[in-house]
């Protein structure tokens, strides 16, 4: 059963021994600050992982294997124990599918060109994909959310049909965060991953999402490039036959033309789909297309280390960070074609090592601490998804977790950026730790983009485990929010996912060390209590956590 809601009685007293150890050591960024969180460990680990020798840490390459070997060495040196029985590794089977020879997408008498008008892939491991005269059904936002009283599929049998689906969720254009689907803030029901999953559950042959720049938070160029070429997926051991035959996108202009041919208006249908009680509508036109697929299987590894708990070792606090990056990529002006991924995510990976060292030095807490370096995040959270589907430690016994993805190196901040706040009892833990640091929580500046659903904590979240995703703050001690936003914008424009995301010995590490300090406090607090954080009433992940707990004899 889920425990009663958490009350944070005397939280600072609980953290006092930890604060005494960390207050003088981890917030200044001073090179001599080595306990309990080692700045030197952070510098050396980030420098090593992002060196050209590791060739961008692409899974399935020599650089990827070097990364795995290095992390095993570092986890062992930090004082952890192997996290998968006697092994440090969890093998992650992957499959890469490349589609080619695309026929046009035909809808009734209309014909649309691949790339410019639509994109599509198959998650199935099959030599060819054919959609032949499949009835096109507009299913609004493609949401089935019983706890919110919403089901776009009610009364329609989607077997063999193609679902045409709107991106985001029904109240994404709201000015506030109030609404059936949290207003402007995207819920998981707004993510394209959910929409394909639900279409498959409904028996659809294919699913096509209507792209719109604001609702998606990116342009059609991102869709076209991301959904072309090789696509990597977790190899679940089957052939993907539980998925739709094709998942894809159509441009907004393509969708408008389709609705016009059906004597309907796209804007009017979007408005109708945004209201409670919407019913799916057949557009009265068949959909057809085809393409060929080639695929290869290969394997990578998650790296897992543990610090066993002293009192409740079968209750787990999870730390996650992805070790992979993009390998070789488009060269910069200097001809450098290695995407080193220093910030993304050598910083988070190094954070696993440095935090492990610190927790070992302080001593094992009551609950077990798990340090999980996952593979293939850049291919779609594949290592994390594999772990969540095949957990070494039962998710019903996993109390909560902390995800680290791209820790900023722009100096100390007065705040942190909270993604996924207002969803669970974890809010109280964060408030306690921030109070101890003298910092504040700032809301997600782009809630409509759904960033909480886009990093390695999320495969655990969607299976019910409450997880923190707290990012570096923008309100800098030196320069305020203007300086923080400028630094973030410069990184996004000049380094992110490019060859210039490289280690710089002149970085200001003080803000990164603040963030590690915060993650350390959160883990110690969670590991020292008997409470189990809950999702708030009405949250989309509350029901799955309750089901997981009800089926468990030794967990929540």
Average pLDDT of the segment spanning 54-73: 96
State the pLDDT at residue 153: 98
* In 404-548, beta strands by DSSP E: 415-419, 440-443, 467-472
pTM: 0.83
Under the banding of pLDDT at 50, 70 and 90, the label for residue 445 is: confident
Residue with tokens 């600072």: 12
Write out pLDDT tens, residues 217-273. 888 988 988 888 888 888 877 788 899 999 999 999 999 999 999 999 999 999 999
Give me the mean pLDDT over the 483-497 stretch.
92
Lowest mean pLDDT among 309-318, 333-342, 448-457: 448-457
The continuous run of DSSP H or E covering 269 comes out as helix 266-273
Burial of 51 (0-12, 13-18, 19+ CB in 10 A): middle
Q: What's the whole-number mean pLDDT along residues 82-106?
A: 96
Confidence category of residue 119, pLDDT binned at 50, 70, 90: very high
**Mean pLDDT across 321-334:** 92
Residue-wise pLDDT tens digits, 286-311: 999 999 999 888 999 999 999 999 99
Question: 42 by DSSP, 3-state: which?
Answer: helix
Dump pLDDT digits (tens) for 156-165.
999 999 999 9
Q: How far apart are the first and last CA of the chain?
A: 6
* Per-residue pLDDT at 222: 83
Distance CA 409, CA 443 (A): 20
| Rounded (5°) CA angle 113-116-121 | 75
58-67, 520-529, 547-556 — which is least confidently predicted?
547-556
Task: Of 406, 396, 401, 346, give the one whose Cα is nearest residue 369.
Answer: 401
3-state SS assignment for residue 196: helix
Average pLDDT, rounded, for the chain: 91
Q: Dump pLDDT digits (tens) for 18-37.
A: 444 444 443 333 232 234 89
Nearest CA to 320 out of 259, 436, 401 is that of 401
Is residue 306 within 8 Å of 315, Cβ to Cβ? Answer: no
Using the predicted structure, report yes or no on whether residue 99 has a pLDDT greater than 80. Answer: yes
Tell me the three state secondary structure of residue 379: coil
pLDDT of residue 235: 83
What residues have CB less than 8 Å from 211, skipping those under 6 apart? 167, 220, 223, 249, 250, 251, 252
Would the pLDDT of 15 be above 70? no
Q: Buried b vs exposed e over 310-332: b needs ≥16 C-beta within 10 Å?
A: eeeeebbbbbbbbbbbbbebeee
Distance CA 423, CA 93 (A): 32
**Three-state SS across 339-378?**
ECCHHHHHHHHHHHHHHHHHHHHHCCCCEEEEEEEECCCC
- pLDDT(74) > 60: yes
Q: Which of 34-43, 343-352, 451-460, 537-546 has the lowest mean pLDDT?
A: 34-43
Assess whether pLDDT exceeds 80 at residue 389. Answer: yes
Instruction: Give the model confidence (pLDDT) of 190-218 as tens digits.
Output: 999 999 999 999 999 999 999 999 898 88
């Amino acid at each position: 059963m889920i425990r009663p809601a958490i009350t944070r009685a005397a939280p600072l007293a609980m953290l006092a021994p930890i604060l005494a150890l960390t207050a003088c050591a981890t917030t200044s960024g001073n090179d001599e600050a080595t306990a309990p969180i080692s700045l030197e460990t952070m510098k050396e680990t980030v420098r090593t992982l992002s060196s050209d020798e590791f060739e961008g840490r692409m899974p399935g390459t020599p650089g990827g294997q070097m990364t795995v070997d290095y992390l095993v060495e570092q986890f062992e040196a930090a004082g952890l124990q192997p996290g998968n029985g006697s092994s440090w590794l969890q093998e992650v089977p992957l499959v890469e599918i490349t589609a080619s020879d695309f026929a046009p997408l035909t809808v009734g008498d209309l014909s649309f060109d691949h790339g410019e008008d639509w994109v599509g892939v198959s998650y199935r491991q099959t030599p060819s994909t054919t959609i032949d005269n499949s009835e096109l059904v507009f299913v609004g936002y493609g949401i089935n959310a019983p706890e919110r009283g919403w089901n776009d599929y009610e009364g329609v049998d989607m077997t063999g049909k193609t679902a045409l689906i709107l991106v985001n969720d029904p109240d994404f254009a709201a000015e506030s965060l109030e609404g059936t689907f949290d207003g402007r803030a995207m819920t998981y029901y707004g993510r394209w991953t959910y929409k394909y999953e639900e279409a498959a559950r409904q028996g659809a042959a294919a699913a096509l999402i209507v792209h719109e720049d604001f609702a998606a938070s990116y342009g059609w160029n991102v869709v076209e490039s991301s959904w072309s070429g090789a696509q990597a997926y977790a190899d679940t051991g089957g052939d993907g036959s539980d998925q739709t035959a094709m998942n894809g996108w159509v441009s907004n202009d393509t969708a408008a033309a389709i609705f016009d041919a059906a004597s309907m208006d796209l804007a009017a249908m979007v408005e109708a789909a945004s209201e409670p009680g919407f019913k799916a509508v057949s557009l009265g036109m068949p959909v057809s297309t085809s393409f060929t697929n080639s695929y290869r299987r290969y394997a990578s590894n998650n790296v897992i280390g543990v610090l066993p708990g002293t009192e409740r070792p079968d209750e787990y606090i999870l730390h996650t960070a992805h070790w992979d990056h993009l390998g070789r990529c488009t060269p910069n002006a200097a001809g450098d074609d290695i995407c080193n991924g220093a910030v993304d995510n050598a910083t988070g990976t190094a954070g696993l090592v440095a935090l492990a060292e610190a927790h070992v030095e302080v001593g094992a807490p009551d609950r077990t601490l798990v340090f999980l370096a996952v593979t293939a995040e850049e291919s779609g959270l594949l290592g994390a998804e594999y772990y969540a589907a095949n957990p070494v430690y039962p998710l019903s016994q996993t109390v909560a977790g902390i995800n680290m993805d791209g820790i900023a190196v722009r100096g100390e901040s007065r705040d942190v950026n909270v993604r996924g706040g207002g969803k669970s009892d974890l809010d109280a833990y964060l408030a306690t730790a921030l109070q101890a640091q003298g910092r504040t929580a700032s809301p997600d500046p782009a809630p409509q983009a759904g960033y909480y659903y886009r990093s390695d904590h999320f495969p655990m979240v969607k299976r019910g485990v409450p997880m923190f995703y707290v990012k570096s703050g923008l309100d800098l001690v030196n320069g305020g929010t203007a300086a923080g936003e400028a630094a973030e914008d410069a990184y996004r424009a000049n380094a992110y996912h490019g060859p210039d995301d490289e280690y710089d010995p002149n970085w200001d590490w003080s803000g990164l060390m603040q963030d590690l300090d915060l993650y350390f406090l959160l883990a110690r607090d969670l590991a020292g209590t008997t409470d189990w954080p809950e999702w708030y009433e009405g949250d989309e992940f509350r029901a799955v956590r309750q089901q997981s707990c009800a089926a468990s004899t030794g967990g929540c």
